[in-house]
Amino acid sequence: MKYKRYHVYISGRVQGVFFRANTWKTALSLGITGWVRNLPDSRVETIFEGEENYAEAMLAWCRTGTPPARVDHVEAEEENAEGGFTTFDIVY
């Protein structure tokens, strides 16, 4: 089983629209671990990892989100999966 890890920055209308909460719910439903947080520059940052197909599905979700969010740009970098997370958390 191959694992993938992504470090992702999401910009658009992604703060104040439950984007973090929906990211958390999506990650839990896919068995993804990591974290998500708001940044001072109005972007959302997330690092997550999981089985390859689920990590790819999570990345695809980050590109669209759910209404009323609007994703304008996603910057994603694949990193080495380290297995360092046990849960998916919202970081404040």
Which residue out of 13, 20, 37, 63 is catalytically annotated? 20
Which residue out of 13, 22, 37, 38 is catalytically annotated? 38
On whether the CB atoms of residues 77 and 7 are closer than 8 A, the answer is: yes
Torsion sign (Cα): 73, 70, 63, 65: positive
Q: Is 38 a catalytic residue?
A: yes
Q: Is 80 a catalytic residue?
A: no
C-alpha distances (whole Å) from 35 to each of 1, 6, 21, 76 are 22, 11, 11, 15
Which residues are annotated as catalytic? 20, 38
